[in-house]
Chains A and B, each alone.
Chain A
């Protein structure tokens, strides 16, 4: 079956610290992989994506590389800001529409 496992939070970091949020997946076939972010009071927004092995998705200083050999898609950012405080969801998509989400990781960045 299809599933996503991501590290449990909450994660609290100081501003300018390095961020890693781990995500591993199980899927049938060749899924596309996503990171979504949910800021307080808002809907989920697509942060970045990768559609095939070894692709690197990047946006707003965040990066994640599709690693088929380790079935992983870890999210990283070299220097977090207070404005990055949000809940981050890893997800995979198979077929036309079906999205499977991880449980979400809450990140709090303190000044």
Chain B
């Protein structure tokens, strides 16, 4: 149980286009979903936290107008990278809390999406 999927697993796009990444909790309802970004040989950095039905909370330094997050249901959150540029190329990972597991807010992670902007 507690499986999180991401789609697509990789995407290549042209500079200036927008890209949407989906994060789904397959077998549980996720109260909260998280979006991380990972540069090569670096840590996962939290970008934003989203709760179903409300606006996402962005970390300092993350442009909310560039990284649009929508958490429309308890099983789906989307991250849209708008007007992508080469510096947005990275590995994007989502995670989700299972609201039925109250122990310590364990996060379940998706496999990640590699974005390459040409």
Q: Do A and B form a real pair?
A: yes
Chain A residues contacting B46 (CB-CB under 8 Å) are 98-99
Contact A42:B111 (CB < 8 A) given known A99-B46, A103-B41? yes
Q: Confirm or deny: B54 has a beta carbon within 8 angstroms of a beta carbon on chain A.
A: no
The answer for the CA separation of A51 and B93 in the assembled complex, in Å, is 24
Q: Confirm or deny: A25 has a beta carbon within 8 angstroms of a beta carbon on chain B.
A: no
Could you tell me the distance in whole angstroms from the C-beta of A24 to the nearest C-beta in chain B?
14
A44 near B104 with CB under 8 A, answer: no
B-side residues, CB < 8 A to A, are 4, 6, 32, 34, 41-44, 46, 49, 93, 95, 97, 104-112
Chain A residues contacting B104 (CB-CB under 8 Å) are 32, 49, 51, 93
A43 near B109 with CB under 8 A, answer: yes
A97 near B112 with CB under 8 A, answer: no
The answer for the CA separation of A53 and B105 in the assembled complex, in Å, is 19
A-side residues, CB < 8 A to B, are 4, 32, 36, 41-46, 49, 51, 89, 93, 96-104
B44 near A101 with CB under 8 A, answer: yes
The answer for the CA separation of A102 and B108 in the assembled complex, in Å, is 17
B43 near A104 with CB under 8 A, answer: yes
Could you tell me the distance in whole angstroms from the C-beta of A8 to the nearest C-beta in chain B?
8
Complex: chain A residue closest to B59, CB-CB? A98
Contact A97:B34 (CB < 8 A) given known A103-B42, A103-B43? yes
Give 7 pairs: A residue, B residue, CB < 8 Å, sorted on A. Answer: A36-B109, A43-B108, A44-B95, A51-B104, A93-B104, A99-B34, A99-B107
The answer for the CA separation of A101 and B109 in the assembled complex, in Å, is 13
Ordered nearest first, which 8 A-B pairs have the shortest CB separation? A44-B109, A43-B109, A101-B44, A43-B111, A101-B43, A43-B110, A103-B43, A97-B105
The answer for the CA separation of A101 and B44 in the assembled complex, in Å, is 6
A97 near B43 with CB under 8 A, answer: no
Chain A residues contacting B6 (CB-CB under 8 Å) are 43
Complex: chain B residue closest to A98, CB-CB? B46
Chain B residues contacting A104 (CB-CB under 8 Å) are 41, 43
Chain A residues contacting B93 (CB-CB under 8 Å) are 43-44
The answer for the CA separation of A100 and B93 in the assembled complex, in Å, is 14
